[in-house]
């Protein structure tokens, strides 16, 4: 289990810009992941600005909650407290399959403890409402800052392309993002900035 503060810039890109950035910096690794998103019918977690997912990798899995930070360290970027529990791939696949088939999903470990302590009335009502599949590329970007490039598809067939810059130092995020803005001539606006995948998955579910 890990619990950490996540500060990141999230920018949706045109495919051409995404591809240009991908070609321009050294690759650290690439992999695929599938996210299954959970809430109840009343959208209790969403209404409390909380996201809950199970993420499947080719050889492992994890469950993650993102909850609001009580005190923000900055105001420009996406900032949450992230709670992660490692799962075996087999266990995670069984949870997902059970939920998709209408079974009751009970979360354990630290995510389960958070739910029990804060939302005990919904613990047996959580089901998968959407999912996303991502090919993720990690690059060494400007200022030796790691860049994450995500190509993501959703249940209705929609695809998008995203740049994430996660770092504990907001000033480094700003410097790196500004360098990319100048080099690749893209612009930030309300529609392409700090948009969460879970919100897009909800919008583009079948």
The pTM score is 0.95
Classify each residue of 106-122 as buried b or exposed e, where b means 16 or more C-beta atoms within 10 Å of its C-beta.
ebeebbeebbeeebeee
Using CA atoms, how far apart are residues 38 and 100, in angstroms rounded to an integer?
Answer: 11
Q: What are phi and psi of 181, to 5 degrees?
A: -60, -45
Tell me which CATH homologous superfamily contains domain 2-203. Hypothetical Protein Pfu-838710-001 (2.40.320.10)
Number of CB atoms found within 10 A of residue 92's CB: 21
Cα four-point dihedral sign 101, 107, 165, 78: positive
Is the Cα torsion angle 82, 88, 89, 94 positive or negative in sign?
A: negative
pLDDT over 70, % of the chain: 100
As a whole number of angstroms, the longest Cα–Cα distance in the chain is 50
Residue 206: its pLDDT value, please? 84
What is residue 22's three-state secondary structure?
helix
Q: How confident is the model at residue 2 (pLDDT cuts 50, 70, 90)?
A: confident
Per-residue CA distances from 93 to 47, 59, 110 (Å)? 27, 11, 19
Question: Around Cβ 174, how many Cβ atoms within 10 Å?
Answer: 16
Band of the pLDDT at 1, cuts 50, 70, 90?
Answer: low
Instruction: Dump pLDDT digits (tens) for 73-116.
Output: 999 999 999 999 999 999 999 999 999 999 999 999 999 999 99
pLDDT digits (tens, 9 = 90+) for 13-34: 999 999 999 999 999 999 999 9
Q: Is 169 helix (H, G, I), strand (E, B) or coil?
A: coil
Q: What is the pLDDT of residues 136-177, one digit of tens each?
A: 999 999 999 999 999 999 999 999 999 999 999 999 999 999
Nearest to 42 by CA among 125, 108, 153: 125
């Amino acid at each position: 289990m890990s619990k950490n503060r996540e500060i990141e810039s999230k920018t949706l890109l045109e495919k051409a810009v995404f591809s240009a950035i991908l070609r321009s910096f050294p690759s650290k690794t690439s992999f695929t992941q599938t996210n299954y998103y959970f809430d109840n019918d009343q959208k209790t977690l969403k209404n409390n600005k909380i996201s809950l997912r199970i993420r499947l990798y080719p050889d492992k899995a994890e469950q993650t909650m993102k909850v609001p930070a009580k005190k923000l360290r900055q105001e420009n970027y996406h900032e949450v407290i992230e709670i992660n529990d490692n799962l075996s791939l087999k266990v995670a696949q069984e949870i997902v399959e059970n939920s998709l088939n209408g079974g009751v999903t009970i979360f354990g470990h630290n995510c389960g403890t958070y739910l029990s302590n804060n939302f005990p009335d919904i613990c047996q009502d959580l089901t998968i409402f959407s999912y996303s599949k991502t090919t993720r590329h990690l690059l060494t970007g400007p200022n030796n800052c790691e860049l994450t490039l995500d190509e993501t598809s959703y249940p209705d067939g929609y695809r998008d392309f995203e740049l994430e810059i996660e770092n504990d130092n907001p000033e480094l995020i700003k410097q790196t993002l500004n360098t990319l803005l100048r080099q690749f001539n893209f612009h930030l606006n309300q529609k392409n900035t700090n948009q969460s995948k879970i919100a897009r998955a909800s919008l583009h579910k079948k």
